[in-house]
Chain A
Amino acid sequence: MENLMSRYRNVSILVAILFVQVLGLAVQVKRRSGADESTRIIRLWTVSAVTPLEKALVWCQNGLGNLWSNYVYLRGVRQENRDLKFEIERLRLEQVRLSDDAQQARRLQALLGFKEQYIAKTVAAQVIGSSGSEQSRSIYIDKGTSAGVEKDMAVITADGLVGRVLRAYGSSAQVLLLNDQSSGVGVILDKSRLQGVIKGTAGGEVILEKVMTDEQVSPGDLIVTSGGDQIFPKGITVGTVMKVSPGADLFLNIRVKPSANLGRLEEVLVIIKKEDRAPSLAETNSVRAVDILTQRLPSVPDKPAADPNAAATERPARPATAQKPVPQARRSLPETAKPAAVAPSQPAAPETGASEDKPN
């Protein structure tokens, strides 16, 4: 027996080591939720051994890169500066237009009692490493629990969603990317408001699931987070629809192009604080609830005014002017302005003070 054991010593050790590892795997698979805690120490050791090197290298790389781009390679900077100034002017004009829309949306939300999750605080982090495996699409960032990063926090870039924090260590964290097969994000199609779930595939592609075949989805449609999963705040850009084809079941096969370049991540933002709040009416002090209500309620069109002076005192309820009553504008109305011109769906708003209608 002893002879037999010594003869097959190597094979016996191999079988024993494999058995222990298979057993360990089985335990981790069996209790998926608790497995993270049982393997935390070994993961922590490896991450602690590897991440300082990665941080040092990223720091050196950034330092040299900044030195080169900020002090040496300044070709075309003047032209770029001119282009950027032009771009700022263009964006300013656009901002004015968008802020009007945003104000209107806020007023409506406030009146309807909508609550939204706002991104209250973010932490910028540098991507320092990856899992090193094609089967595990995750990255490591240089911010951890010491910077307020915790498990299940959303990670974004300026372009769009990146993923969520899977594990947070002292000074680093592991982020599960959107295109990993174990990730899942609740999303909504921006145009059609259809809900679905974004998932990664084994090949690293991103697909949109749970959209029925009878729904209309076309390439180019924008996809944003729905906020339903309680991890990602609502409205973050996820990607655009690339290809739509009928699936085997009742659902469509929708391939998605992520907005963030998941293969070339350098810096990311971790959303460390979200706030649930409804937009207050104080933000939009010119709002009048009656303006909104009058647009909703059916009404009888007013009779044409016989007296042109009386007509001048009434005010047509145009959304833009109704929300911001400007006395000067009303005075400048022509005397011939008649309420008859007001459509039934846009009844004339009664002249009431904004302060009276303001809900507290």
Chain B
Amino acid sequence: MPITYTSQDQVEVYRFSAPVAIAIPLAALFLQAFLPLRIHFFSLFDLPLLVVIFFAVARRSPVAGLLTGSLIGLLQDSLTHQPIGIYGIAKTVVGFGASSLGAKLDVDNVGARFLVTLFFYAVHEVVYFTVARGLVKLTLQWSWGHEIGGALLNAATAAILFTLLDRFKQRA
């Protein structure tokens, strides 16, 4: 199993330069809005979620993780026509969870990243559906096939994408 338990001192903490911290989430939002028009199945991906997980795990600070998640989620909300906050709440929870997990476990290898993304994709969808149905009274359709497919696809993408994004990491 690639996930290994490490002590707090053994875990590497990373930071990102300001341009990277701004440009990567914006690029993710842009691609998320632009690509589904050209590649229809791209709507299955959730690039902002992957970016939240990446930043949260790398920084290993729950506060930074939840703030990143909250901000990216709110920006994603503002591109939709629905009330702002549904993605915000879901990604806040994911950011907090991923950074808390990252602080305790070494999840910097491909297998661990795949499993972590799989897990947090599920968390994100459950929180999103709960908030959207419970608070906003949206009629959403839950499809197991769609959710499992989305989770696997996003997890596989994360394994590749995180390797590319590792180049922007700086040791804190």
Contact B40 A263 (CB under 8 A): yes
Q: Please give the residue numbers on chain A whose beta carbons come within 8 Å of chain B beta carbons, in ascending order.
A: 9-10, 13-14, 17-18, 21-22, 24-26, 28-29, 35, 39, 42-43, 45-47, 49-50, 53-54, 57, 127-136, 138-140, 166-167, 174, 176, 180-182, 201-203, 263-265
Q: Which of chain A's residues have a CB closer than 8 A to the CB of B34? A: 53-54, 57, 128-130
Q: Residue on B with the closest CB to A174?
A: B81
With A29-B136, A46-B79 known as contacts, the answer to whether A129 contacts B92 (CB < 8 A) is no
Q: Which of chain B's residues have a CB closer than 8 A to the CB of A167? A: 81
Contact residue among A10, A18, A43, A45 (Cβ-Cβ distance under 8 Å from B89): A18
Rounded to whole angstroms, the CA-CA distance of A180 and B63 in the bound complex is 36
Contact B80 A131 (CB under 8 A): yes
Instruction: Please give the distance in Å from B158's CB to the nearest CB on chain A.
Output: 17
Contact B81 A182 (CB under 8 A): yes
Rounded to whole angstroms, the CA-CA distance of A21 and B95 in the bound complex is 15
Give the total of B residues in contact with A, Cβ under 8 Å: 44
Instruction: Please give the distance in Å from A229's CB to the nearest CB on chain B.
Output: 18
Rounded to whole angstroms, the CA-CA distance of A42 and B83 in the bound complex is 12
Q: Which of chain A's residues have a CB closer than 8 A to the CB of B67? A: 17
Instruction: Please give the distance in Å from A169's CB to the nearest CB on chain B.
Output: 12
Rounded to whole angstroms, the CA-CA distance of A286 and B83 in the bound complex is 57
Contact B80 A133 (CB under 8 A): yes
Q: Please give 18 more A-B residue pairs, beta carbons under 8 A apart, in addition to A29-B137, A138-B80.
A: A10-B63, A10-B100, A14-B92, A18-B92, A24-B84, A25-B89, A26-B135, A39-B84, A42-B84, A50-B33, A129-B33, A129-B34, A131-B33, A132-B79, A133-B43, A134-B43, A167-B81, A176-B81
B156 in the interface (beta carbon within 8 A): no
Q: Which of chain B's residues have a CB closer than 8 A to the CB of A9? A: 63
Q: Residue on B with the closest CB to A57?
A: B34
Q: Residue on A with the closest CB to B89?
A: A21
B86 in the interface (beta carbon within 8 A): yes
Q: Which of chain A's residues have a CB closer than 8 A to the CB of B121? A: none
Q: Which of chain B's residues have a CB closer than 8 A to the CB of A13? A: 62-63, 66
Q: Which of chain A's residues have a CB closer than 8 A to the CB of B36? A: 130, 132
Residues of B126-169 at the interface with A, using a CB-CB cut-off of 8 Å, are 131-132, 135-141
B37 in the interface (beta carbon within 8 A): yes
Contact B81 A166 (CB under 8 A): yes
Contact A135 B132 (CB under 8 A): yes
Instruction: Please give the distance in Å from A141's CB to the nearest CB on chain B.
Output: 11
Provide a sorted-by-A list of 22 A–B residue pairs whose CB atoms are within 8 angstroms: A9-B63, A10-B62, A10-B96, A13-B62, A14-B66, A14-B93, A18-B89, A18-B93, A21-B88, A25-B83, A25-B86, A26-B135, A28-B83, A28-B85, A46-B75, A131-B81, A133-B76, A133-B87, A135-B132, A166-B81, A181-B138, A181-B139
B117 in the interface (beta carbon within 8 A): no
Q: Residue on B with the closest CB to A41?
A: B78
Rounded to whole angstroms, the CA-CA distance of A181 and B138 in the bound complex is 9
Q: Which of chain A's residues have a CB closer than 8 A to the CB of B26? A: 49-50
Contact A46 B80 (CB under 8 A): no
Rounded to whole angstroms, the CA-CA distance of A24 and B138 in the bound complex is 16
Instruction: Please give the distance in Å from B56's CB to the nearest CB on chain A.
Output: 12
Contact residue among B32, B70, B141 (Cβ-Cβ distance under 8 Å from A21): B70
Contact A203 B78 (CB under 8 A): no
Rounded to whole angstroms, the CA-CA distance of A161 and B35 in the bound complex is 23
Q: Which of chain A's residues have a CB closer than 8 A to the CB of B82? A: 135-136
Rounded to whole angstroms, the CA-CA distance of A54 and B29 in the bound complex is 11
Contact residue among B30, B40, B44, B84 (Cβ-Cβ distance under 8 Å from A28): B84
Instruction: Please give the distance in Å from A102's CB to the nearest CB on chain B.
Output: 37
Q: Residue on B with the closest CB to A28?
A: B83
User: Beta-carbon contacts of B41-73 to A below 8 Å, as 1s and 0s?
Assistant: 001100000000000000000110011001000
B107 in the interface (beta carbon within 8 A): no
Contact residue among B40, B78, B132, B136 (Cβ-Cβ distance under 8 Å from A46): B78
Contact A25 B135 (CB under 8 A): yes
Rounded to whole angstroms, the CA-CA distance of A139 and B38 in the bound complex is 12
Q: Which of chain B's residues have a CB closer than 8 A to the CB of A131? A: 33, 79-81
With A132-B29, A202-B140 known as contacts, the answer to whether A50 contacts B79 (CB < 8 A) is yes
Instruction: Please give the distance in Å from A136's CB to the nearest CB on chain B.
Output: 4
B98 in the interface (beta carbon within 8 A): no
With A10-B62, A17-B66, A136-B81 known as contacts, the answer to whether A25 contacts B131 (CB < 8 A) is yes
Q: Which 6 A-B pairs have the closest CB atoms?
A: A136-B80, A132-B32, A28-B83, A25-B85, A202-B141, A10-B62
Q: Residue on A with the closest CB to B22?
A: A49
Q: Which of chain B's residues have a CB closer than 8 A to the CB of A28? A: 83-85
Contact residue among B62, B81, B85, B100 (Cβ-Cβ distance under 8 Å from A22): B85
Residues of B83-124 at the interface with A, using a CB-CB cut-off of 8 Å, are 83-89, 92-93, 96, 100
